[in-house]
Chains A and B, each alone.
Chain A
Amino acid sequence: MTRWRISVDKSLCIGSAMCVAIAADRFVLDERQRSGPVEAEIDPDELVRDAAASCPSEAIGLVDADTGQRIDLD
C-alpha cells in the first residue's frame, strides 16, 4: 500500500489557510498562522492532493513515502 509524505515549507507558507480549510484533519496552523501537517505520513488522501494543488505559495510538498517520488497534483 502506497503511503504519502507531506511537508510544508514554512518559509514559503503565507498563512492563507487554504490547506486547513480544504483538509482540516490533515493540516494545522501554528501561532504565526504557518501551516504544518498533522501527521507527516498518511494513506493517500485526495483532499491532501487538493490542498497541495491549491496552495497559493506552492508550500506543500507531497511525495511517495517509499520512493520519494513527487505525487502528481492534477
Chain B
Amino acid sequence: MENLLDPLFRGVALGALFALIASGFALILGVMKIINLVQGEFLMLGGYATFFLVQWTHINPIMTIPLVFIIIFVLGIIIEQIVDPVATKEAAGVLLTFGLAAFMRNLSLLVFSGDNRTMPYLVDSFEVFGVYLPQYTILNFVVALLAMTMLFVFLKTTSWGKAIRAISENVDLAQVCGIEARKMRIISYGIGAGLSGIGGTLVLISRNIEPQMGGPYLGIMFAVVILGGMGDILGACIGGLIIGLIAAFGAHFFSSTVALAIVYLLVPLMLLVRPRGVFNRGNM
C-alpha cells in the first residue's frame, strides 16, 4: 500500500500539469469551436522560450513564467490571424491547424536542432508520507493551480472574461449586446496559447523538450478534454487529474510507453462510449 502512494502523488501533480496544458486547448475549443492542433507547438515554443531566456539572462526559471506567457500570447495572436477565416468551419479548421502545426514543428526542428533540451531545476527530492518526490512536483502543482485559478477568476469576474464566455455561448447575441467578437476571439486564442506556453516551461523543468514533442502532448490534451468533458475549464481540470493518475499508475505497473498507449487508445474509446466525458458534463 505504501508503494502506491508514490504514483498517487505523482499522478496528482502530473494531473495538475496536464490540466494546465489542456486548459488552453479547452479554452480555444470552447470559444472558437475549432480543434486547435497547433496547441502542442505553443507548448513546445513556450519551453524553448524559457530555455533561451534563462540561457541569455540567467534568471530563475520561475521568473520566466509571466514573460513566456506574454511571448506565447503574442505568438498566439499572430497565428490567430491565419486561423480565423476557418474559425467556424470545423473540418477546414482541423486541416488548417494540422498543416500549420507540421510547418511550425519543422521550422523549429531547423532553428533549434533536434536535440533534447533539459533545464533541471528543483530536482532534489523531498519526502512526504514516506514517498520521495522531486521538488519540481510541488512546483508544477502550485504553478498549475495558480494559473488555473487566475484563469477561472478572469473568466468569471473581468469584463473581458465575461465577454469571452458570452461569445462562446452565442456569438450573434453577444455581438448584438455590443461585444466585439473578433477582438475577443483574438484575445482568447492568445490566452489559450499562453497557457500552453507556460505549461511548456514546466515541462522543460521537469522533463525535457524537443521540437517534435507537440504531437504526443497534443494527444494528451485530447484525452484530457475528452475525458473531462469538452467545453469548459473545469472539464480540463477533471480530465487532467484522471489522465495524470492513469499515466502515473500505468508507468508504475507497466512502462511509460504502455501508459502513453493506454492514454491514446482511451480517446477513441471515450469518444465512442461516453463522448461527453466521464461525468457526462461536456456539451459537445
**A and B: interacting chains:** no
Give chain A's interface residues, CB within 8 Å of chain B. Answer: none
Give chain B's interface residues, CB within 8 Å of chain A. Answer: none
